[in-house]
Structure 1
Amino acid sequence: MSRKDQCSICSRETEEGIYLLRVYICEACEAEMIGTPADDPRYEYFVKRMAKAHKSMIPS
């Protein structure tokens, strides 16, 4: 049985993805992030989602 984790970008539960500084990213979001140029409006969305995910990992 495979483990499913929730993507920090799209919130879908998937079996395939990566952890980046303890933040899980599914393969689909990883591919889209890599292929998105910095001048694309989606780039800012990814930056904000990653920042939010990383902040949630810091203990209060």
Structure 2
Amino acid sequence: MEEGLSCCFCNKIDDEGIILLNQYICRSCELEITHAGSNELRYEIIKKNLKSIWKGALFPSH
């Protein structure tokens, strides 16, 4: 059985990341988020995923 949490960005299972609004982000994705430049395509993808986390926290589905 695998132990750890599943990253909401990449689905990697581990326990070395952060929890943001009840969503787990692995260390690799956390570093990707903090190092993405606003002129990069990955920045837009990251921004979309973070918006989704915030929407889920603000407007939880019943």
- 1:3-60 Cα deviation digits (max 9, x unpaired): 4000011111112100111111000000011000111100111111222344445133
Q: Give the TM-score, by structure 1 length.
A: 0.79
Aligned equivalent of 1:6: 6
Unmatched segments (≥5 aa) in structure 2: none
Aligned equivalent of 1:24: 24
Unmatched segments (≥5 aa) in structure 1: none
Which structure has more RCO (C-alpha within 8 Å, separation ≥ 6)? 1
Report whether the alignment pairs 1:59 with 2:61.
Answer: yes
* RMSD over aligned Cα atoms: 1.6
Aligned equivalents of 1:51, 1:7: Cα separation in 2: 16
- Equivalent pairs: percent with the same residue? 31
Aligned equivalent of 1:40: 40
Contact 2:6–2:14 (Cα < 8 Å) also in 1: yes
How many residues of Structure 1 are paired with residues of Structure 2 in the alignment? 58
